[in-house]
Amino acid sequence: MKRNSKDADSSHRKLTRRSLLLGGAQLGFAGLLAMRMRYLQVDQADQFRLLAEENRVNIRLIAPNRGEIYDRHGVIIAQNSPSYRIVLVPEDAGDVEKVIANLTRLLPIDEEDLERARTEMRRSPPFLPITLADQISWKDISKVAVNAPALPGITPEVGLTRLYPQNADFAHVVGYVGPVSDYDLSKMEDPEPILRIPRFQIGKVGFEARQEEALRGKAGAKRVEVNAMGRVMRELDRQEGESGADMQLTLDAELQSYTQARLGTESAAAVVIDIEHGDVLAISSSPSYDPNLFVRGISVADYRALTSDPYRPLANKTVQGTYPPGSTFKMVTALAGLEHGVIGPEDTAYCPGHLEVAGRRFHCWKRGGHGHVNLEDSLKHSCDVYYYDLAIKVGIDRISDMANKLGLGIKHELPMSAVAAGLTPNRDWKARVHGQDWLVGDTVNASIGQGYMLASPLQLAVMTARIASGRSVTPRLVKSVDGVEEPSGAGETLAINPNNLRNLRKAMNAVSNDRRGTAYRSRIIAEGMRMAGKTGTSQVRNITAAERAAGVISNDDLPWERRDHALFVCFAPVENPKYAVSVVVEHGGGGSTAAAPIARDIILQALYRGTPPLDAYPSADRSKIEAQQERLERERLKRRESQGNDQA
């Protein structure tokens, strides 16, 4: 049927309106798109350009060089050494296990290290390098380079690691570093990003740990271009970090080495202090260990050997170990009595071999007693009864106060691990800690350095330096930081009557130089080098009345762990004191036989700044001393040769 013209016109008008509406809508939508594109491409261009740049460019940290540690003469103690390692990029290796198998045919790699590397691979993206072997030799690096075609994804790298060229001599002082562990991070409130760098090393114990922040330095940064997968394409620029501070210690490497060697295989400790400045010249704990083992990753067998040794080589006996000071404490009791006017230097007490106190008999070490003794005689013969009687008159609180004034019972803040405060008990301490009253028997025990009394070898050396100088000498371990000298430890004049100190030093001189003195056999005879000292023997077991009646068992007949500790403190020269020394030999028996000879040899080494002449020793000892010097020199040369091989 044919449509009329009227209907055709109406249909045309409707189509035209719809076309116009649709076209307008399309035009409006296109306009909105254009406006949005202009907003994104023009108005927001800078912002999106920055976002794109951030996705393309990464900032990565650069580990700084760790500060090095030197002795007082510039001898290196802890240094940074090139460390060669083998890394694997899994995505470049293809068959990872096949590549590892090929590598192990060239290099001996511990299965433990390989398993750790596999664990890292599972946790990390395939383009990140994983360390397979660390601290390998240049010879091994050469093997890998020659066989590179058979080792896809394997790359030799060089970095820095810590090396302790003196090996065991400074282990207890300096400590060691190791990779940051999850435990290390858990102890920090807000760990620095640098600590998350793979295998980044921090101080674990000792000086390395206590001075970690200064030694670590500040991280640098580099800008690298990465692709969409995060793989590094190229380095754009870098800013080097700030190296850690170089530290110079007060220690003398030669004296430290000699002291360590002289202690030998004993479970012992020795401290040498320069009285003028308070500088710690040697601080040795024996037996020691090689800290390089921990840096490299100590084996289970080596670690078990250290922890199971009854002589406790990992413990720093010089500052961590506290012992009953025994008769070396008698100077404290004597000085307290002199200062409070309870005794004069010529006043005497009678020693029949024991003293009855509150129904209990306290014995002197000499069963028959010493008879009438004054201050000098009491120290020279180490009479116990003289000090029992004196302590009861003086009182424990005055004795404790004097001990603190001389540096006992005080934590000396050296940058070393586990520095102990020791213990100088008094009435308040026992009431607070044990909830008990102080007894007169406690005072009697404390008077000769037994009972609750405890002191470290460091504290005993400080006590001796203060008695010798009359000043509050404070031990100093850091000489300078980046060449800037640290404050002296010379100290101020002690509030102690100089005459009382003079009388005490005179009595200590008699201990070493009077024929009847307990340390006479260990005297120094060189003119101007005479030594003043005090022997000490501290009990580690109770002696029953039955044993005393039958005869006290000799230390030589007891198991090692039940023998008395041997102690000796000294200073020299008597006329112008320069050095103070303390020696503790665990379960060594008597102070005069075990500790005094060691202290005498060490202080002579300090006085002569090297091996002393034989005529400094009594003639009867010279052949033995000559043999000892030759043996120690052979050991020193052997140790240096070993150190050279390790560094090579």
- Could you give the CA distance from residue 568 to residue 457 in angstroms, rounded to a whole number? 10
* Contact between 91 and 268 (Cβ < 8 Å): no
3-state secondary structure of 600: helix
Dist. CA 277–CA 471, nearest whole Å? 11
Q: How far apart are the first and last CA of the chain?
A: 111
Whether 327 is catalytic is yes
> Distance between CA atoms of 31 and 265, rounded to whole angstroms?
92
Sign of the dihedral through C-alpha 596, 598, 602, 607? positive
Residues counted in the chain: 648
Per DSSP, the residues of 243-258 read PPPPEEES--HHHHHH
- Number of neighbouring beta carbons within 10 Å of residue 53: 10
CA 387/CA 507 separation, integer angstroms:
14
CA distance 56 to 51: 9
Residue 238 amino acid letter: R
CA gap 455, 425 in Å, rounded = 11
Q: How many CB atoms lie within 10 A of CB 382?
A: 27
Active-site position among 257, 327, 417, 582: 327
**Residue type at 29 in one-letter notation:** F
DSSP designation for 526: S
DSSP states along 457-480: HHHHHHHHHHHHHSB----B-EEE
401 token code pair: 């106060």
- Is 324 exposed, middle or buried, given 0-12, 13-18 or 19+ CB atoms closer than 10 A? buried
Secondary structure class of 518 (helix, strand, coil):
coil
Collapsing DSSP states into helix, strand and coil, what is residue 485? strand
Cα dihedral 419, 423, 429, 430 in deg (nearest 10) = 130
Q: Active-site residue numbers?
A: 327
